Structure formats: structure tokens, C-alpha cells
Chains A and B, each alone.
Chain A
Amino acid sequence: EVLLTQSPGTVSLSPGERATLSCRASQRVSRSYLAWYQQKPGQAPRLLIYGASSRAAGIPDRFSGSGSETDFTLTISRLEPEDVGVYHCQHYGFSRVTFGPGTKLEIK
């Protein structure tokens, strides 16, 4: 089973700043199997990034994903107030799906 850890647990930034969120896997994984989701308060998760770096349909280019092997990053450039929420990374493989604990993004 692939275990995912995310850091930081909570981050507080101002509009216009850049957010860098980290997801670390307990073993090397294929980029193809790493995804990121945004969950706004009171809402269902929304797919942002799949295959580590491909944006899902309708996702603004302010959101980008990168990384490989055990270290992956979600970058949100030019933060907007609507970006507040929890960001989850997810691995899909070995007939198993695992999620990271999430990073809470607060906008000052």
C-alpha cells in the first residue's frame, strides 16, 4: 500500500501570492497514478490535476502539478480568495486507492 503524506498541514497566504503544496509517497510511484483534488468548504472534492501534471477540464492554468517518484507538488500561482479549501493528493494503483491527509489553504 502506498502511503501519502502532505505538507504543510495548513498554509495561510494572501491573494496574489503563490502556494506550493507537497505530497510525498512512501515508495516510488508512476506519475500517471498521482492526482490532486480541491475541496471547498461544504462541497465535494473536485479533480484539479491527473497524471501528476495534466489539468482537468475547466481548471485554470494558475493550477499546475509537477514531480516524480516520491515527491509531487501542486502549485497555485496568483492566489484568489476562492482558492480557500483543502487540497488532497491521491494515488491510484496496485488495485488500491489512497489519499493524503490534505493541506488546508487559508486566504488572509
Chain B
Amino acid sequence: EVQLVQSGAEVKKPGESLRISCQASGYSFSSYYIGWVRQMPGQGLEWLGIIFPDDSETKSNPSFQGRVVFSVDKSLSIAYLHWNNLEASDSATYYCARSVTTSFDIWGQGTTVIVSS
């Protein structure tokens, strides 16, 4: 079965660092882009960017550039989303999703991040 399984919910303080993960299985991880999408409470979907696991090529939403970093571990078939300096406004649910050319066909279950002092 093709699936993406994300790491569990996180509660962090402003200024802290965080890395959340997205474990892929059931397909060739290196062959498909992985995208990251943010959903703030009660709001719509916002695209953060995508990464191609084979060569770590990334494309980012300019609105989030400098705020988040994308990386992968090909050997483990895991994609990561990093923050170096969390802010309260980063509180949201974050989804990873497999990109097939122009859409996202497989989604992770989401990781909720709460940033609060």
C-alpha cells in the first residue's frame, strides 16, 4: 500500500527548533516530489514547497522562504520539514503529500504543531 505516515503532534516554545517527518512506503521514494502544505486552524490550504528526493531539488513558496527548510533521507524514505526559530504564527497542521506532475495523490495524516510560551 502506498502511504505517507507523519510524525506526531508537537508542542514547542517560540524560538525553539523543530523537525517533523514524513515516512513514505509502498513506492519508489526517489521518483516523486514530496510537497508540504500548511493548514492553520479553520483555514484553507497553503503550499510551502516541494522537494525531489532523488537530488533534493526544492521549489519554495516565496511567502515561506527562509522560514522553513525541506530535506530528505533517501536511505530511509523520509522527508523532513524544519524550523530553526519557531513563532506562534507557525501553529498549524502540516501535511506532506506525494506529487504526481500537477496534483497531490497521496497525503499524510497531518502533524499538528503548537507554538506557545
Q: Are A99 and B95 in contact (CB under 8 A)?
A: no
**B45 with A33: CB separation less than 8 A:** no
Indicate whether B44 reaches chain A with its CB closer than 8 angstroms: yes
Instruction: Bin chain A's interface residue count.
Output: 20 to 34
Interface band, chain B: 20 to 34
| Cβ-defined contact, A44 with B103, below 8 A | no
Q: Which residues of B have CB within 8 Å of A102? A: 44-45
B interface majority secondary structure: strand
CA gap between A56 and B104 in the complex, in Å: 10
A99 surroundings in chain B (CB, below 8 A)? 37, 44-47
* Interface residue B28 (Cβ < 8 Å from any Cβ of A): no
Give Cα A95 to B62, complex, Å: 11
- Nearest chain B CB to A21's CB is how many angstroms away? 14
Q: Is B103 a contact partner of A46 (Cβ separation < 8 A)?
A: no
Query: By CB atoms of chain A within 10 A, which of B44, B45, B59, B100 has the most?
Result: B45
User: How distant is the Cα of A85 from the Cα of B103 in the complex, in angstroms?
Assistant: 20
17 contacting pairs across A/B (C-beta < 8 A)? A32-B102, A33-B102, A35-B103, A44-B110, A45-B97, A47-B104, A50-B102, A51-B102, A56-B103, A56-B105, A90-B45, A92-B103, A95-B59, A97-B35, A99-B44, A100-B44, A101-B44
